[in-house]
Amino acid sequence: MATAHSELGGILHLVGVAPAINTLLRSALEPEVTVEAMGSQDRLYHHFQEGHQPADTVLLGMDIEDPVRIAQRIHTYDHHVPILILTAPSRCDQLKRTLMFSPFLGNEVVPWSTAEVDELPSAIRDAVNRRRQRMRYLNTISRAQIRLEKLPLLQPEATYYLDQLLDHAPIGVLTVDLNCAILTINRQAQTILSVSERSALGRPLEEQFPLREQGRLAALLQHGLKGMERHKPEIFEVDAPAGAVRFLEVTPAPLAYRTGQRGAMLILQDVTDRVAAECERQRAEDDLRYHATVLRSFHEISSDRELSLEEKLHRLLKLGCEQFGLPNAILSRIDGQCFQILDSVSDHPAYVVGTSKDLDQTYCSATVFTNEPVAFEHAGITEWRHHPSYLEHRMEAYIGVRIVVDGGLYGTLCFSSPAPRYSSFSSADLEVLKLMSQWVGNELQRERAEAHMRKLSGALEQAADSVMITDRDRRIEYVNPAFERLTGYAKADVIGHKTYFLRSGMHDEVFYQDLWQVVGNGGVYRGVLVNRKKDGSIFHEQKTISPLKDMQGRITHFISTGHDISDRVKAEALDRQHKAELAHVGRLSVLGEMTSGLAHELNQPLCAITTYAQTCLRIIQSGNCKPDDVRYGLEQVVKQAELGGAIFRRLRNFARKGDLRQQRIDLREVILEVASFVRADVQQNQVQLHLDIRRQLPAVMADPIQIEQVLLNLVRNSMDALSDTDEGRRQITIKAVRHERHSVKVCISDSGCGCPQEVADRLFEPFFTTKATGLGIGLGISQSIIDAHGGRLWLEEGAVQGATFCFVLPGSGESRHEKHPTIR
Ligand code: ADP
């Protein structure tokens, strides 16, 4: 191609082109094409304005802004100069579209991707050659026109020369006389009009055009024949083979010969591609306008706050009827095979709202499988004529699409008409319908979500438990009426505030840190919080705090529910107090029972003191007083007095009143203490007390006095049970062993009368006793003490002789059943 036209030469002007491309073009094109860099577009404009030799092609580089505007300006100087615009590959398509919608027509302005820069020299060469060729033909034609005027009409050489020239022109050229009969027709014009020279010459030009265009052509010719200046071109539609049409641009120019004869010259160009591009552009513009109109209507409907959802949907159906030009519209709900009409716009009796039918009896049965609309314009002439719906209702035109809500099929939106639709549904129609169904789907989904939310928020509002929702920073976003009632704070007081104002000061900072660590890590906190009401009073709240997470599993909020358990806490405290009092009474009663033994125990040091004191007196009175003898006597007095004092201290401790005071204790010590307590009693009653205490028992958390009380109760009961046993066989054993890993098990066995089943069944009942002077509270108190320590007390079953009572106490390292918050 390049070599074929290399003799033509030409000028390429570069504006804003990178030096590398400049160099590339020079080496590829010169000397054939002179490459001139213009620096800036202003220099190029100046070049044109000054009337210098015009460029044959202009290349606009990447360094300039708004190349389309610059190209437009260049075309105001020279409408035919080809312009190539260099662009990044990613922007190339966009630029093509911009050019398509710009006033440029044809191929004069072309975007060129930098990815194809290797092809650029060849493209420029072609553009330059085309331009040069075009210029040459135009010059030739205008020169021929001048010569024709100068030469005598029909001078044979001139005619021959002109014919030869025109025959090779790439544009159609023909001349007509005043009657519009064809005088000359070049080869290109013959091709364009699909006519031979022989059949065309002398015939009216109109004959070559279809009837529908002949009037317009005649008018143009008349104008061309009469006017003295060139007329602007007009486009005509001519028939092409196989029912196609082509578009011809006809530019008339008057011809006036020296002879005074007048005629016209016509330049014909096949602009079918250009017109097709223009039509496509027009269609795209119409589609855009159509979309914009429908969107505006959508917007008007959806944003109308006065309308309910039902009213909005009804308006949408009407809008669809108008848009598609179909009289019937249906919004359906599909449940399995049941097709139910939720709303409709129609006079047809079958389309009344509420009507249900089998889905297979409707055209919509075909639309439910895909998100794409189903549409046909004339069912009667297609396979649709066999569809049950056609046979029943004879709807010729139909367009429908499914509606999806929450990811599942909800129903359909469809429009139909008993009359065929003579223009086919456009892709814009299908897009609009899809848009409508998405809109309906979204609206229904939102309505569903709102209804769900209404239900939820109603439940929260009605809930008896207090509910509080905070954001991640623990700022309150919502509280329910139960919260207001419980705390005394109104919603308006607390929204936006952090929750600190509820703190009572009863929990330490570590407590709150532990709590928020649990929920902050996605866990659920359950526990009792001591909080403060607006009036300053304290209340106990059984709380559950859970994190709320978004779809990605990130914590966005915390929700806490709670109820006031202050009454329960008070009742429990009262219960504890009653139990402590009862235990106290129990201890006093045990002491009462032990009076004679204790008296005996105390009597011994008192007697010893009396004896030692009397001996000392006697030594002093004898006159032979040795100080060492007296000192020994007095030392014994002190020792016995201390023994007595220890007995009193133990009694006082045991009899003291008080709440549970747990501490880490060694059960061995407690058992030894109890053994010395009962020593006198045991001796008096001639009972043998055995201790079997294993080494290295785990320490337990317990109140030593209360455990002493339990042991004393059990030992005293054993002694009572031994009263009828022969003196030599009265035995009590206290055994303590490690139980499981960290607990301690203590068993008190006796060789007494044992417990018959009817007694064993009622042992722990309050006031149950088989003794004449018994109170029947000892075992009950003992059991509640062991329970309060997290342990268990029971009568061992199947004892061969006597009775064995056991209890287990958890080791100090074991966790308790329920973890209570630390209360300061
Ligand atoms: P109390 O000793 O005042 O009767 P307890 O609650 O201590 O009250 O004992 C309730 C009953 O359990 C006793 O009356 C007795 O019948 C029975 N019991 C308790 N310990 C023994 C035991 N080691 N052997 C036989 N029976 C016992």
Residue 530, classed as helix, strand or coil, is: strand
Any idea what the CATH number is for the domain that residue 438 is in? 3.30.450.40
CA nearest neighbour of 343 among 303, 316, 305: 316
Q: How far is Cα 113 from Cα 84, in angstroms, rounded to an integer?
A: 10
Return the pLDDT at 586: 82
pLDDT the model gives residue 3:
36
Last-in-domain residue among 402, 430, 453:
453
Q: Strand locations in 439-505, DSSP E? A: 466-471, 476-479
Query: CA–CA distance from 223 to each of 180, 233, 619, 718 (Å)?
Result: 12, 12, 171, 141
Ligand 1 centroid – CA 654 distance (Å): 21
User: Of 337, 411, 402, which Cα lies nearest the Cα of 374?
Assistant: 402
Are 17 and 100 within one domain? yes
Residue with the smallest CA separation from ligand 1 atom 14 is: 769
CB 37 near ligand 1, within 6 Å:
no
DSSP code for 413: E
Residues 523-579 pLDDT 10s: 999 999 999 999 999 999 999 999 999 888 899 999 999 999 999 999 998 988 888
Q: At residue 145, does pLDDT exceed 70?
A: no
Tell whether ligand 1 has an atom less than 6 A from the beta carbon of residue 751.
no
pLDDT category of residue 5 using cuts at 50, 70 and 90:
very low
Do the Cβ atoms of 60 and 86 come closer than 8 Å? yes
* Average pLDDT rounded to a whole number, residues 316-330: 93
Tally of domains in the chain: 6
pLDDT in tens, 685-733: 899 999 999 988 999 999 888 898 899 999 999 999 999 999 889 999 9
CA distances from 310 to 295, 301, 329, 440 (A): 19, 11, 14, 11
Q: Looking at residue 313, what DSSP letter applies? A: H
For the chain, give the mean pLDDT. Answer: 86
Residue 274 pLDDT grade (very low, low, confident, very high; cuts 50, 70, 90): confident
CA of 763 relative to ligand 1 center, distance in Å: 7
Same domain, 557 and 484: yes
Residue at 162 is within a domain? no
Which CATH number goes with the domain that contains 806? 3.30.565.10
758, 769, 786, best to mutate for ligand 1 pocket (most atoms within 8 Å of CB): 769
CB atoms within 10 A of CB 407: 7
DSSP state of 351: G
Residues 520 and 373 both lie in one domain: no
Letter for the amino acid at 505?
G
Query: 373 with 492, same domain?
Result: no
* pLDDT for position 417: 96
Q: Are residues 75 and 120 in the same domain?
A: yes
DSSP 208: G
Task: Examine the fold and report which residue of 544, 564, 584 is the final residue of a domain before the chain moves on.
Answer: 564
Q: Are 403 and 411 in contact (CB under 8 A)?
A: yes
Give the pLDDT score at 589.
81
Residues in the chain: 824
Q: Ligand 1 mean position to 648 CA, how many Å?
A: 27
pLDDT at 4 over 60: no
Of 103, 121, 156, the last residue of a domain is: 156
Q: How far is the CA of 683 from the centre of ligand 1 (A)?
A: 21
Q: Are residues 287 and 261 in the same domain?
A: no
**Cβ of 770 less than 6 Å from ligand 1:** yes
164: in domain: no
In a domain, 246, yes or no: yes
Q: What angle do CA 585, 586, 588 make, to 5 degrees?
A: 65
Q: Which residue in the block uniquely carries the two structure tokens 């095979």?
A: 337
Give the integer Cα–Cα distance in Å for 426 and 287. Answer: 9
Instruction: Walk across the sheet containing 743-750 and list its strands.
Output: 688-693, 731-739, 743-750, 804-809, 792-795
How many angstroms is it from 743 CA to the middle of ligand 1?
26
Q: Which atom of ligand 1 is nearest to the CA of 805?
A: 23
What's the rounded Cα separation, in Å, for the pair 6 and 347?
A: 75
| CB of 593 closer than 6 angstroms to any ligand 1 atom | no
Q: Is residue 275 part of a domain?
A: no
Residues 111 and 195 grouped into a single domain? no
Reported as a single tens digit per residue, the pLDDT across 750-779 is 999 999 999 999 999 888 999 988 888 889
- Considering Cα of 124, then 126, then 129, then 135, what sign does the dihedral take? negative
Q: Work out the burial of residue 426: count CB atoms within 10 Å of its CB; fewer than 13 is exposed, 13-18 middle, 19 or more buried.
A: middle
Q: Is 492 domain-assigned?
A: yes
Question: Does 793 lie in the same domain as 664?
Answer: yes
For the whole model, what pTM was predicted? Answer: 0.46
Ligand 1 geometric centre to CA of 779 (Å): 7
> Average pLDDT in the 176-183 region?
87
DSSP 107: T
Give the model confidence (pLDDT) of 450-505 as tens digits: 898 889 888 988 999 999 999 999 999 999 999 999 999 999 999 999 999 999 99
One domain for residues 534 and 625: no
Q: Do the domain assignments include residue 163?
A: no
276 belongs to a structural domain = no
Q: What is the pLDDT of residue 543?
A: 95
Asked if residue 66 and residue 32 are part of one domain, the reply reads: yes
What is the rounded CA–CA span in Å between residue 505 and residue 498? 16
Taking the C-alpha atoms of residue 4 and residue 165, their distance in angstroms, rounded to an integer, is 18
CATH number at residue 625: 1.10.287
Q: Distance between CA atoms of 222 and 174, rounded to whole angstroms?
A: 15
Whole-number Å distance, alpha carbon 780 to ligand 1 midpoint, is 10
For residue 597, CA distances in Å to 2, 325, 655, 674, 713 come to 136, 114, 16, 13, 15
Asked whether the beta carbons of 697 and 736 are under 8 A apart, the reply is: yes
804 lines ligand 1 (CB under 6 A): no
User: Which residue's CA lies nearest to atom 19 of ligand 1?
Assistant: 717
CA 494 to chain CA mean position, Å: 28
| CATH number, domain containing residue 116 | 3.40.50.2300
CA distance linking residue 736 with residue 744, whole number of Å:
7
Out of 587-601, 728-742, 774-788, pick the least confident: 587-601
CATH code, domain with 481: 3.30.450.20
Domain that holds residue 504: 463-564
Ligand 1 within 6 A of CB of 33 = no
Pairwise CA distance, residues 362 & 388, whole Å: 7
CA of 689 to the centre of ligand 1 (A): 19
How far apart are alpha carbons 283 and 526 in whole angstroms?
67
Q: By CB neighbour count within 10 A (0-12 exposed, 13-18 middle, 19+ buried), where does 506 fall?
A: middle
pLDDT at 302 exceeding the cut of 50: yes
Contact between 540 and 507 under an 8 Å Cβ cutoff? The reply is: no
Tell me the pLDDT tens digit for each residue of 180-213.
899 888 888 998 888 898 899 889 999 889 999 9
Mutate to test the pocket of ligand 1, among 710, 717, 755, 758 (most ligand atoms within 8 A of CB): 717
- Radius of gyration over every alpha carbon of the chain, rounded to an integer in angstroms: 57
Task: Report whether residue 763 contacts ligand 1, using a CB cutoff of 6 Å.
Answer: yes
Q: Pick the residue with more confidence: 624 or 17? A: 17
Of all protein residues, the one whose alpha carbon is nearest to atom 13 of ligand 1 is 769
| CA 472 distance to own-chain centroid | 17
- DSSP structure string for 40-98: SHHHHHHHHHTTPPPPSEEEE-TTSS-HHHHHHHHHHH-TT--EEEEE-HHHHHHHHHH
CA neighbor of 791 nearest in space, from 744, 751, 753, 758: 744
Number of Cβ within a 10 Å radius of residue 277:
16
Query: Per residue, what are the HEC states of 246-301?
Result: EEEEEEEEEEECCCCCEEEEEEEEECHHHHHHHHHHHHHHHHHHHHHHHHHHHHHH
Does residue 352 sit in the same domain as residue 475?
no
How far apart CA 318 and CA 339 sit, in angstroms, is: 21
Q: Is the pLDDT confidence value at 659 over 70? A: no
Q: Is 469 helix (H, G, I), strand (E, B) or coil?
A: strand
Contact in structure between 402 and 411 (CB atoms under 8 Å): yes
> Same structural domain for residues 212 and 318?
no
Q: At 39, is the secondary structure helix, strand, or coil?
A: coil
> Does residue 323 lie within any of the structural domains?
yes
759 lines ligand 1 (CB under 6 A): yes
CA distance 742 to 455: 52
Residue 98 beta carbon below 6 angstroms from any ligand 1 atom: no
Whether 779 is in the pocket of ligand 1, judged by its Cβ within 6 Å, is yes
- Residue pair 461/468 in contact (Cβ under 8 Å)? The answer is no
* pLDDT confidence tier of residue 816, bands split at 50, 70 and 90: very low
Atom of ligand 1 nearest to the CA of 776: 8
The C-alpha atoms of residue 595 and residue 584 are separated, in whole angstroms, by: 16
Which has more confidence, 732 or 653? 732
